[in-house]
Each structure stands twice: as C-alpha cells, then as structure tokens.
Structure 1
Amino acid sequence: MKFNEEKFDRFLKLEFFKKIFLTYSIKKVLLVIAIILAVIPLIISDFILIKIAEKNLLLNQRQTHTTISWLIANQTEKFLKIMESKVESVKTTILFNSIDSSLPDIISLLDERKTLVDFLENTPEIDYILIKDTQGHQAFALNTSFDTKNALDEKLDLYIINCLHENREIKSPPIFLNQYFKYYIFFVYPVNVGNNRGVIAIAVNMDNVFANLKVKLPTGYNFLIVDKEGSIIGAKNTTLVGDKIDITVFNKEQNNLIFDEFQGQKIIASSSFVPGFDMSVITYIPRETAYKYVKKMKTQTITFGILAVLFASILSIFLSNAFHEPINDLINVTEKISKRNFSVRANIVGSNEITVLAKRINFTVEEIEKYIKRLESLIRYNKRLFISTITALAAAIDAKDEYTRGHSERVTKISVIIGKYLGLNAIELERIKVAGLLHDIGKIGIDDKILRKPGILTAEEFEEMKKHPVIGYNILAPIKELKEINKGVKYHHEKWDGSGYPEGLKGEQIPLIARIIAVADTFDAMTSRRPYQDPMDPEFVRDKIMDFAGIRYDRRVVAAFVKAFNSGEFNELLNVDKDDNNESEIKDNNKGDKE
C-alpha cells in the first residue's frame, strides 16, 4: 500500500491533536508528552527487576510463615499436654488417699489441707480446679474472681454430667466467656473410689497459655490462634480475642501462603493445626510490610523517573501557564457564581479571546446580580405585606370583643419566645408567629353576641364557641402554603390528656405548634381582664400552668415556658394594672371559657 502523506498530514493537523487539546488541559497534555519520552525506558527495565524481587519475596515468606506457625502450634500443644499431666497428678493423689477413705472424706481432707490451693499456686495457668462427687460434696480453688467461677460453673455443668454418664475423660473445645472476654479449655476426669463417683475438673485460662509462648516473631509478623469456627482465642494483639475470622480458605490451604484481608488490611498468611486440639495457628503479616523492600525499589524507580522528567516538565509548565492560568481563573469565577456569589468578577487583562470571554461573563453576572437583588427586595416586601395583612386580620378579629383586643398578637409573642426556648429553628419560629396571629381566625364565624357576652357562656353557647378552631382551619385549608401553620389553628384547644377539642387528640398526636399556642393562649387569657374574671397574678398563672403539665399541656412546652417566664421574657407583655388576685382557679374550658 502506497503511503499517503497528504492524508497523514491532515490527520495530524486536525483530528488527532484537536481531540486531545479539546479533551484535556494544555498543561496536562504537555506534561504527559514529557513524561512519556523520559520514563518509558526506565519503567521497562525496573519492571523486570521488581518481578524478580517479588518472586524471591514469596519464597522467603512461605518458608518463614511455615516455620513460625509450626513452632507456635507445637508449643501450644506441649503446654496443653502439660496441663493434662498436672491434672492427672491431682487425680493420682486422690486415688492414693482413697485406700482408707471414701471420696467425700478425701474431698473434705483436700479442702482442709488446702491441697488444691497449693496446686494452683504452682500452676498459675489454671484459673479454677474443682473436685465434686455425685452426693454434692466438693472442694475447689480459684486463681480468679467468684463471678468468673459462677460463669465457669455454668459452662462446666454439661461436661461434668457427660463425664459421669459416660465415665470417661472429656476435653472441651475452647469456651468463650463473653462477659470477661476470656477463653477457657476444660479438662474433666472421672474419679471412682469404691461406690463413690465424682469428677475432677480444671479450667485452663487460654490467656495464660498463650502468654507463655516463647516464639520470637520477626518484625511485622503477628499470630492468631483460632478454634474450628474461626473465633480468635489467642493473639499477639490480645484486643482481638473474641473476634472472628473466616478460616474456610485456611482449612483448604494448610501450610500454603494465603492472600487475604483482615481488619481492613491486605495480609499474607499461613496456618497450622494444633494436634489433639480443635485449634489452628494463623501467622500473618501486612502485605504492605512484607513488600516493604519491593516498595522501596518501586519508590526508587519513581524517584529516578521524576528526576528524569523534571527538567522537561518545568519547561512544559512554564509554557502552559500562559494559557492555563487565565482559563483556571474563569473556572474559579464560574464555580463561585454557581454557588450564588454574584459579586465575583473575572480579573483578566488583555485583548485575546480569553479576555473577551471574561468581559462577557462579567457583564452577564452583573445583570444576574441586579435581577436577584430585585427579586429579594420583592420577596421581603411580600413577606412584610403578608405579616401586616394577617396582623391586621387578627386585630380585626380581636376587636370584635373589647376584652380580647391585642390577644392574638400577645399570644404570638409568647409562643415565639417559648419556641426559642425549645430550640426551634427560624423556619419553625416563623410558622409559630403566623399561627399565633391566626389561631382565632375562626371567630369570624361565631355570633358576636356570644363573643361579646359579658359572662360565662351557657352549654349551648360554649358548643358554638368550640367550632371556631375548625372554622378557622376550613378558612385557611385552601392555602397549601399554610398547611403546617393551619395545624396550630385547628388544634390549639386540644389537651395533653385527650379531653380537648375539636378531635380529642392526646399526647404527641397534637402537633407541637398547637401545644405551644395552647400554653401561650392560656397564659394571656388568665393574665388579661375579661368580663367574667379579673386579671390573675402572672406568677400564680405560671404555677397553675405547671400544675396542669402532663394533663392539659405538654411537659416539655411547659418547662420552656417556665424557663422563659423566670428569665423575665414576658415582663414587657404583662399589664402593670392587673390585680394580684392569686386566689382564682383556672377556669376549665368546658365551663365556658371563651378562649
């Protein structure tokens, strides 16, 4: 095929380089070219050397792991067999003394002579030794607490029963005491003296066993001793005792290197069985530690590679910065704009295409900023208009009864203060403010004769008055934006014990906003002059509200109210002309209270 120089030249000029420069930054493109030219030869040569080093490392790891795990397994087996022989010696002592004595007498004699105590003093690996017959006679000695003894007795009972039933020696698998984070192995032996049957049992603390291991581990190596279920019963790091490890792969690959993960670390490991016991020894080393020397070689390769390309990189960076920095400035500006910072401007001087783009961006941001400010101004205006409107509406409702004039606004202020002491956020406080102003809007639908009646309402009149929360709710229901606020309007006469109205809600069923307004409404009603009562002393009212906490009112809301009251938050709202009539009782809503 004839080489088409024209097509190749067109390919180089347009497609290939155009795609690269449009996909990646100029700085990155120049850096990559420099690195490729300087590093490729170095990488090829060092790659071969690293592979050889890794191969030698794995051979060394296999030999080291096999040796260490075998030594630990062998020492563990020997130690446990020594424990068996010591128990056998106690058994022999008992049998020797049985020539002229019964088993209960022997047990009493051992207890009296402190034989078992002396035995444990010379055998610190054993935490508990027990001699017991079928008639309930027993002697024991401890190297641990009585609480631990009780826990050990619970575990030993089954093995003692099996030993007596089967009349044979029983050796338990490792037993874990959860509450003490300790593993034990039980040795239970039958003891038969004449017609008397009993057992001798010891509990070997595996912590003491593993503490006596004399294997010196190379730097970075660790070991675990696990049972057949994978529970860790011993470890170089004792905090791991009680944890679990998946030993499926270790059971299949005994004495072979295993690459696995443990506690979030990649490890190289190997395992060996402990002969005669349901245990295995796992030795492991973090892969990062094992590969330290290989990693060092890789680091040196990277270092030499960096030095090799450093000169070329400096030159490419110097040339690319002239293009990259202005573009990067524009990127930073657009990121800030995306975070609603419309005061930022691109500060790029020049006359090239980048400068023109920066000026266009600045102009667009200025227009957006002006538009946003106009919108914010309109939002603030609409909010003020809304609050003013509902305030005027609340005042108009209150004005229907000269005795409740200003009531809604005072309830609002009290409710907001309580909300602050409850730790509510700004949005929740704003809802309380609106709900407080509108909580009695339903009184628009109540006959003026009832509202202005100068005395206590009749039962029929009170039933009519009780409709105002639902009337108010229905008035506001079409306004979806007031959905949460409307809960305060509808339920502010509900009581904590469920005796309120309109739905008889109780406890947490009552929305928090309604529970707050209920306390504020009561406080203002009782401290204001009404045709059927004189204003009560504020402290007297506070105490009465506290008396009804958990009955009419939410205890948490009452606590916030009392804290605010005691801090003087309501002093400006209280009428200085109110009488000191602290003998009045709270008037029950079902007696005709119009609030």
Structure 2
Amino acid sequence: MDKHPVWRLRILYVFLLILIVISVVPLSFYGIKMVESNQDTLKTQEEELQTITSKSLAQEIGLYMENTNERLKGFFEATQTTVAKIPASQYESDPQLRAALEKFVTDQPQVIFVTVVNTDAKGPLAGSYNAAADVFLAKLLERAFIAVRQKNNFESNATTITRQGKNESAIVIARPLTVNGKFAGMVAAVVTLQHLQERLEDTWRTASRLEAYVVDNSAHLIASYDPNKYPANSDMANVPVVQKFLAWRGGALASETLPFTLQVGNQSVAMLGTYSSVQSLGWGVIVQKKLSDAYFSVHQMIRETMWWGVLAIILSLVVGLVATKSITRPIEQLRRTARSIANRDFTQRADVRSRTEIGELAATFNTMAEDIQHYIGELEAASEQNRQLFMNSIEALASAVDAKDPYTKGHSSRVAQYSVILAKEIGLEEEDVTKIRISATLHDVGKIGVDDRVLADERRVRNHEAAHGDGLRNRPAGQGARRDAARHPLAPRTVERQGVPGRDRRG
C-alpha cells in the first residue's frame, strides 16, 4: 500500500452531483426564462390595467359630476325664479320655498344639505345633514356668502365630514340670487362625494389593491379609496405622479403610466402609477400600486421556481442515494476485497450478486483471486519442498562429516539443538533461529575436506590440555561438561573418557 495515500472523491458524491445538476439546472434555466418573459408581459398588462381603470374612473366621475352640476343648475334657476316673487324678509317662512328645498334633497340623495338665505344670511334649509352644526361646513358657507355677495359663483375644495360613523368627502357649491339686478341672497348646496368614494373603494377591492384617488388642479385631494388614510383636501403635491399631472395644468388629454418612488415616513416605496384627466372639471384621477403588488405574480413565480428547485434537489438526493447505493455498494465491496488482497489476504472474495457489468467484474476479480491463491499455494508447497530438501541436504552433509569419525556421531545435531535453545532464550526471531540451526549444523562441515589420518591421530594432548581435562574431572558440576568434551571430535584418544557411554577407556 502507498505510504502517502492520495485523497480520492467518492463516486457517490459524483453521482449525486450529476443528478442535482441534471434536475436543477434545466428547471432553473426554464424558470429564469419564464420569469423574464412573464415579467415583461405582466408589466405591460399592469400598465394597461391602470390606464383602463383610470380612464374609466375619469369618465365615470366626469359624467357623475356633470349630471350633478346640471341638476344643481336647474335647481338654482328654479330657486331664482321663486325668490323673485317673494320678499327677502319672507325667505325663512315661505312654505313654497321650503317645500322646493325639501323636494330637491329628496330627489337628489347626493345633495345632503341645501339652503336659501337673504341678504341677512337668514332663510330656510333642508337635508339629511345639519351643515350649520358642522364647524368646517359652517365656515365654508360663510366664505360662500362672502363670495356670492360679490356676485361670484363659489365652489369649495373638498372637505371631510363624518356621517353615519364614516368619513366622506363633500363640497359646497353656491350661487348668488339677484332681483332686478341687485343682490338678494344666496342659494347653497352641500354635495357628498360618497358615490365617488365608493367607486374608488370598489377599485381597491376588485383591481388587486389598486390605490385610486382624485385631485383637483391644485393637487388637493377630492376623494380617495380610504378617507382615513387620505383625508379630503390633503395636499398631494409631493407625489411624483400627481406632479406629472399638474405639469399639464389640468389640460392633460391622455393618460400616462410611470414608475416612481413614494416617500412614506422614513421608507421609500417603489410604486407604479397612472393619471387620467377629468377635462370638464380640471381634476385628475390617479391610480397607483406598489411594484411588489404589481409584480406579485412574477415574485410568486420566482418563489415557486425556487421551491420546486429545492424540492427537485431533495428528490434528486433521495433518488440518488437509493440509486447510487446499488452501484457503489458492489464497488465498495470490490474495493475492500482488493485492499485485503493487497495486504496478502488471498482468502477474501467479493460477494457481489449484481447482474450488471460490476457483477461481471466481481466474478472476474474472484476468479483472479482464486488463481492467485492457487499459484501462491503451489509456490508455498514448492518452497516448503525446497526448504525440506535443503534441510535434508544439510543433515546429510552433517551426517557425512560425523561419519568420518565414529567418536563424533551426532555431534552436529547436538550443537544445532543447543544453539536453537540459546537463540530462542535470547528472543531471536524465527527466521534468525532457522539460520542459527543451519549454521550450527554446518559448523564442522570443513572437516569433510580433512584427511582421515589427521582426524584419527591418537597422540597425547599437550600438558596444559591434560591439565585442563584434569580440572574438568575434579569439578562436581563438570561431569556433564566432561562428557561433552570427551565427545568433541578433536579430543585426543589418549584422554581418559571415563563415564562416557559407548567409549572404551584408553591410556
């Protein structure tokens, strides 16, 4: 095995990555292209919706106010004819005039208050709303009286009133009354714009949160979809789409849609707005929507694409884990078996039952392992046979050496035996013990080339050698050593070999 193993990427991760790429990349590409295409389409549709809505509201408001003004004009003319026959001091008590006022407010529900006053600002009144008790309306009626005294028509800005617990917009319209060319009084009416407000509220509900409101040519709010959020007479000059309308000075002939940023408190909100002009009144109908709401479908598609992408990744991981396990499991089995064989364990086999190419590879691998194990067995048997032949040759050679002298019979085997005992005692490895056994067996192999006459020489040993032999004889513990020394092949035959079995004593 390598001393420095190389880092390798698991095939499982490769399969999972491929599955994720195959499943997510096409979905992401499709989603991005669809979002880009639908974003342009939805933007165009939203602009068309705002244009159609603003134009429709402008036309409807123009017709409604034109109809209201016509009815007021007819009423004012009728009142002018009536008061010409009545002394100014009798306006307040004249039953015919009072009946005419009551009939008019009954026939025209948008008129919630009407009054006719003489030069002293006294006269009858009628309607479902007591304007005289409303501070703001009372102030407007006073301003109207001042204006008509100068023989000017008066039409106020919209103001907010509270009727039946709800806020709504209303305007004051007044005309001077003259008799014989002289100022004789004032006829005034308070017209509620509740119908316009309800129409704007319907637009909010039905046109996907489209904010709609009406401004005059001074950027003052006339009516809105939410009078609590946008009270009547509010200054809307800071809204960019209103500024665009004001640039035409109330004379815009067409509608225009534009994106802009609306400052709401400390936040900047991206908006898309459209204005259309009510040309007969000089008013402007504004519709606007947050870009996040205008392109909600696009954002929803992006979110859905992301969720589908996440789901595709999860499904790919699950399917990939299940699918790749059937592939990586046999490969892992092959890897473990190959590693075992690399560690010289040739008994291992790859247990792979797959019918794919991996199964065929595993079967071939097992056949190869069996062949290797068989060859190794044959090599081991041959090696053992050679070793045995070698040992037999060594023992035969040692026996041949010992056979040259009958006194040295078994000497080489005994030396080998003692040498092995000593080698094991000092803890040598088995291989070293075998080498020592062979060396000890062959330690006297040199005698095979020595002349027999030399080996059979029976001359006496020298004096110091004899003395050494006497020392051995005199030691109690030296009996075994004396026997071994007597068996030594080089020991002279004249040495006394007392107590040595199989030897005759010679002198």
Normalised by the length of structure 2, the TM-score is 0.48
Larger radius of gyration: 2
Kindly indicate whether structure 1 or structure 2 has the higher relative contact order, using CA contacts under 8 Å at least 6 residues apart.
2
**TM, length-normalised to structure 1:** 0.42
